[in-house]
C-alpha cells in the first residue's frame, strides 16, 4: 500500500533519499518513457511526425566555369571556395522550407571535388505538439550545374562592354598622361574596368555599366581640366517590353598642354589673370592650369571652364629646350622689384635674379653673353647648366604671339636647372607602377617618362599625389661626387612605400 500511495503522489523514494519521476509506457511500443504530451517515445514519434518533410533533400546550385563564381539568386554571382562559409550560406538560402524549423548546426560532408556534388549535414529543432520539441539530423545533397554568367557570356560573344571612356590629349609631351596614370593607381579609380587598352594619345577604359563609366568620368573631371562629350548607339530594341539596349561612349579631352610648356595668352585673358605677361610658363597641370611668369615670378591659375572658353596652346614644348651655361648671377632685392596696382600673387618658392648665360653649343666659340631675368635665382650659380627657350630662333605659329611687339619679348627664358641625367638615372632607387606593365615603350616615350620622373624628384607637391615604391633591385646611391652636391633633387626613403607581394606558401615552396 505504501508503494501505491507513493506512486499516487507521483514520486518513489530511492536509497539516497531523492525522488525520481515516474515513467509511463509508450502508447505504441510499450517502452517506459518519461511523461510527455504525445505519450510516445522518440522513435515512435519520428515514425508518425517528420519535421523535415517540407525541406527538400536534393537541390541544385549553378556554377560558372569561366570565372569560377556561384549564382546567388536572382542575378548576383559571388566568388566562393569549397567548404567555405560563403558557400554554406548560399546553399542554405536554396532550402525554402528551412524557415519553418530552427537550425541548430550545419556543416559539409566531404565529397570528391570533381563529383559535382555538395553534401550538407543539418541539425534542426521543430515543435511537434505543445511543449514537445523534436531534434532531427538529415543530409541535403546539392547538384552543381554549369551555367555561364552574363559577364562571361558577353565576353564570349565579343559584346563584353557596355560603356567606353576614351581619354585623349592632343599634345607633343605625355607628362600629363603619366601623371593621370599615377592618380588613377593611387585612388584605385580603375577597379571596375573590364579592360584597359593603350591608344595613340591616351587610354581606353571599358565598363560593363554606365554607372561605373560615369564614376570614372567624374574622377577625371576632379583631377584634370578636361572636356567631356558623350554619345550612345542603339544595339537592340524589344518592341513588346519597350526596352532598349545601348552602348555608351564618353570622349574625354585633356588640355593640350603639359608642365614645362611655354604658352601665349590673349590680351583679354592676361587682364583677367592680374595683368600676367602674355608669354608665360606652365608650372603644373592639376585640377587647374598653374602659370608663372619666368621674368617676374608672378603666378596665376586658369580653371577648367575658363580655359575651354578662351583656349590657348603651347608655342614651345620641352623638346625644344636648349642648354645654356650660367656665367654670372645677381639676386634682385625686394626693393628693386617693379610692382603695379592689380598685380597677381608672386611665388615665394622662387627668387628673381639677373642671369648672364651662354649657349652650351657656342661656349668657347661665341662668348657673347645673354642677359636674362629669371625666377631660378635660388637654384643657379656660375658654372651650372640650365635649360631654356631661345625665342629669337623659335618658329612660332600663333596669332596672339604675332600681335606682341618684338621689343617687349625676351630673347631667352630659363625654365629649369639641368643635372646629369645618367647619374640621376643610376641613383634612382625607386619605381612607379603602371596600368599596363607589358606595353612596349619606344625611345621617345621613354625619354618623356624619364622627364616625368625628374619632375617628381624636383617637385615635392607633385609627389603627394603619386605612390612611390622602393625598388629592391637597386641600392642606395654610393656615388660620392653626386652625394657631395646637395642641390641634386632626390626622393627620401621616408617618402617611399614598400611594394607588398603576396605569394601562396605552396607556390613559394614549389
CA 124 to chain centre: 46
C-alpha cell at 167: 581619354
| 94 and 67, same domain (yes or no) | yes
pLDDT for res 38 = 73
pLDDT tens, per residue, the chain with 510 residues: 233 333 344 444 545 555 566 888 887 787 888 877 777 787 787 777 778 888 889 999 999 988 889 998 888 899 998 889 999 999 998 888 888 888 889 999 999 888 899 999 999 888 776 667 778 889 999 999 999 888 777 776 656 788 999 999 988 888 899 999 999 999 999 888 888 888 888 899 999 889 999 999 999 999 999 999 999 888 777 778 788 878 899 999 999 999 999 999 998 898 888 888 899 999 999 899 999 999 989 999 999 999 999 999 899 998 899 999 999 999 988 766 777 676 778 888 889 999 999 999 888 787 788 999 999 998 899 999 999 999 988 888 888 899 888 888 888 999 999 988 888 888 888 888 888 766 556 677 888 888 888 888 888 888 888 888 888 777 655 554 545 456 678 888 777 776 654 444 444 444
| 315 and 399, same domain (yes or no) | yes
Find all residues with CB under 8 Å of 449, minimum gap 6, and list them: 174, 178, 441
Distance between CA 128 and CA 410 in Å, rounded? 99
Nearest to 360 by CA among 414, 322, 410, 317: 322
Residue where one domain finishes, among candidates 90, 122, 150: 150
| Concatenated DSSP letters of 135-153 | EEEEEEEEEEEE---HHHH
Distance between CA 183 and CA 439 in Å, rounded? 19
Find all residues with CB under 8 Å of 357, minimum gap 6, and list them: 324, 325, 326, 327, 369, 370, 372, 386, 388, 412, 414
Residue 339 lies in a domain: yes
pLDDT for res 75 = 84
Distance between CA 186 and CA 464 in Å, rounded? 10
| 132 and 183, same domain (yes or no) | no
| pLDDT, tens only, 166-193 | 999 988 888 899 999 999 999 999 888 8
| Concatenated DSSP letters of 367-427 | ---EEEEESBTTT--TT-EEEEEETTT-----HHHHTS-GGGS-SEEEEEEE--HHHHHHT
| 402 and 430, same domain (yes or no) | no
91: domain range?
47-150
| CA distance readout (Å), 422 to 292, 374, 427, 442, 478 | 29, 26, 9, 18, 14
| CA distance readout (Å), 150 to 69, 159, 249 | 11, 11, 21
Residue 357 lies in a domain: yes
Q: In 130-215, at which residue ranges do the beta strands (DSSP E only) sit?
A: 132-146, 163-169, 195-199, 202-207
pLDDT for res 157 = 60
| pLDDT, tens only, 280-336 | 999 999 899 999 999 989 999 999 999 999 999 899 998 899 999 999 999 988 766
Residue 326 lies in a domain: yes
Residue where one domain finishes, among candidates 125, 150, 175: 150
Find all residues with CB under 8 Å of 460, minimum gap 6, and list them: none
pLDDT for res 428 = 84
Per-residue DSSP letter, 273: T
| Concatenated DSSP letters of 426-472 | HT--EE---S-TT----HHHHHHHHHHHHHHHH-HHHHTTS--EE-T
pLDDT for res 211 = 92
| 140 and 195, same domain (yes or no) | no
| 321 and 435, same domain (yes or no) | no
SS3 212: helix
| 318 and 349, same domain (yes or no) | yes
Task: Give me the phi and psi of 359, to 5 degrees please.
Answer: -60, 135
| 389 and 292, same domain (yes or no) | yes
**Structural domains in the chain (count):** 4
| 145 and 182, same domain (yes or no) | no
Find all residues with CB under 8 Å of 411, minimum gap 6, and list them: 370, 372, 390, 391, 392
Residue where one domain finishes, among candidates 376, 407, 438: 407
Residue 261 lies in a domain: no
| 441 and 482, same domain (yes or no) | yes
SS3 304: helix
Residue 318 lies in a domain: yes
Residue 16 lies in a domain: no
Residue 278 lies in a domain: yes
| 349 and 460, same domain (yes or no) | no
pLDDT for res 386 = 94
pLDDT for res 485 = 58
Nearest to 436 by CA among 447, 427, 424, 445: 445
- Which residues lie across from 285 on neighbouring strands? 289
> Considering just the CA atoms, what is the radius of gyration of the chain in Å?
39
Residue 201 lies in a domain: yes
| 335 and 373, same domain (yes or no) | yes
Amino acid at each position: 500500500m505504501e508503494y501505491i500511495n507513493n506512486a499516487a503522489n507521483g514520486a518513489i523514494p530511492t536509497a539516497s533519499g531523492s525522488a525520481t519521476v515516474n515513467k509511463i509506457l509508450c502508447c505504441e511500443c510499450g517502452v517506459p518513457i518519461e511523461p510527455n504530451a504525445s505519450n510516445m517515445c522518440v522513435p515512435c514519434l519520428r515514425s508518425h511526425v517528420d519535421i523535415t518533410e517540407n525541406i527538400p533533400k536534393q537541390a541544385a546550385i549553378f556554377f560558372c566555369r569561366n570565372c569560377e563564381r556561384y549564382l546567388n539568386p536572382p542575378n548576383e554571382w559571388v566568388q566562393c571556395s569549397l567548404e567555405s562559409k560563403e558557400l554554406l550560406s548560399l546553399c542554405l538560402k536554396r532550402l525554402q522550407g528551412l524557415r519553418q524549423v530552427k537550425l541548430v548546426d550545419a556543416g559539409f560532408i566531404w565529397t570528391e571535388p570533381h563529383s559535382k556534388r555538395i553534401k550538407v549535414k543539418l541539425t534542426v529543432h521543430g515543435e511537434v505538439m505543445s511543449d514537445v520539441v523534436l531534434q532531427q539530423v538529415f543530409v541535403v545533397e546539392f547538384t552543381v550545374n554549369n551555367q555561364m554568367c552574363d559577364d562571361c557570356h558577353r565576353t564570349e560573344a565579343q559584346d563584353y562592354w557596355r560603356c567606353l571612356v576614351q581619354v585623349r590629349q592632343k599634345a607633343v609631351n605625355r607628362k600629363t598622361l603619366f601623371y593621370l596614370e599615377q592618380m588613377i593607381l593611387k585612388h584605385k579609380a580603375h577597379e571596375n574596368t573590364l579592360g584597359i587598352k593603350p591608344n595613340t594619345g591616351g587610354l581606353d577604359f571599358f565598363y560593363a555599366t554606365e554607372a561605373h563609366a560615369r564614376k570614372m568620368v567624374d574622377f577625371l573631371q576632379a583631377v584634370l581640366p578636361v572636356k567631356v562629350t558623350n554619345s550612345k548607339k542603339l544595339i537592340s530594341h524589344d518592341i513588346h517590353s519597350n526596352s532598349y539596349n545601348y552602348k555608351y561612349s564618353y570622349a574625354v579631352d585633356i588640355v593640350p598642354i603639359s608642365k614645362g610648356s611655354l604658352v601665349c595668352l590673349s590680351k583679354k585673358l592676361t587682364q583677367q589673370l592680374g595683368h600676367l605677361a602674355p608669354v608665360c610658363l606652365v608650372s603644373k597641370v592639376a585640377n587647374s592650369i598653374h602659370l608663372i611668369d619666368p621674368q617676374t615670378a608672378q603666378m596665376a591659375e586658369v580653371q577648367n571652364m575658363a580655359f575651354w572658353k578662351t583656349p590657348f596652346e603651347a608655342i614651345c614644348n620641352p623638346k625644344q629646350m636648349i642648354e645654356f651655361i650660367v656665367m654670372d648671377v645677381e639676386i634682385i632685392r625686394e626693393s628693386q622689384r617693379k610692382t603695379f596696382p592689380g598685380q597677381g600673387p608672386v611665388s615665394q618658392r622662387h627668387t628673381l635674379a639677373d642671369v648672364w648665360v651662354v649657349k652650351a653649343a657656342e661656349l668657347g666659340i661665341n662668348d657673347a653673353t645673354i642677359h636674362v631675368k629669371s625666377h631660378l635665382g635660388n637654384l643657379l650659380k656660375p658654372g651650372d647648366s640650365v635649360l631654356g627657350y631661345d625665342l629669337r630662333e623659335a618658329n612660332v605659329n600663333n596669332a596672339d604671339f604675332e600681335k606682341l611687339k618684338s621689343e617687349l619679348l625676351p630673347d631667352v627664358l630659363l625654365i629649369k636647372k639641368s643635372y646629369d641625367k645618367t647619374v640621376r638615372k643610376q641613383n634612382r632607387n625607386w619605381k612607379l607602377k603602371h596600368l599596363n606593365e607589358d606595353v612596349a615603350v619606344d625611345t621617345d616615350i621613354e625619354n618623356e617618362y624619364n622627364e616625368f620622373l625628374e619632375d617628381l624628384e624636383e617637385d615635392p607637391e607633385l609627389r603627394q599625389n603619386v605612390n612611390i615604391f622602393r625598388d629592391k633591385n637597386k641600392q642606395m646611391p654610393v656615388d660620392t661626387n653626386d652625394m657631395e652636391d646637395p642641390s641634386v633633387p632626390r626622393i627620401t626613403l621616408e617618402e617611399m612605400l614598400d611594394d607588398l607581394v603576396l605569394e601562396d606558401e605552396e607556390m613559394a615552396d614549389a
